[in-house]
Amino acid sequence: MEARNLRKTKTGTVTSAKMAKTIVVSVERKVKHPLYGRVVKRYSKFYAHDEQAQAKVGDIVKIAETRPLSKLKRWRLVGVITPAK
């Protein structure tokens, strides 16, 4: 059971919730530009499993890594941190 705690987690914003039991989460990361040294925002898109369809567009959610559930889904919804306004 302790191995489940070692799985990666990410926090991001729900950008789409139109699919059945699936949400798209956009995760922001900050990277230093190799030449100019400025910190630049980069975004990654993750497909996550949402069994109860509890996440809505604009929610800030936490997702955790899991086994492959489909061609694109390798993450599952842990919980909604901040609901959309």
Q: Residue 22 sits in a domain of what CATH number?
A: 2.40.50.140
pLDDT-derived band at 5, boundaries 50, 70, 90 = low
Strands (E), the chain: 9-19, 22-32, 39-49, 60-65, 75-82
Q: Is the pLDDT of residue 18 over 90?
A: yes
pLDDT computed for residue 2 by the predictor:
61
Q: Which domain holds residue 78?
A: 2-82
pLDDT exceeds cutoff 90 at 6: no
List of residues 6+ apart from 76 with CB closer than 8 A: 48, 49, 50, 63, 64, 66, 69
Model confidence at 1: pLDDT above 60: no
Count: domains in the chain = 1
Task: For residue range 20-67, list pLDDT tens digits in order.
Answer: 999 999 999 999 999 999 999 999 999 999 999 999 999 999 999 999
Kindly compute the dihedral angle of the four CA atoms of residues 15, 13, 47, 53, in this order, to the nearest 10 degrees.
Answer: -80
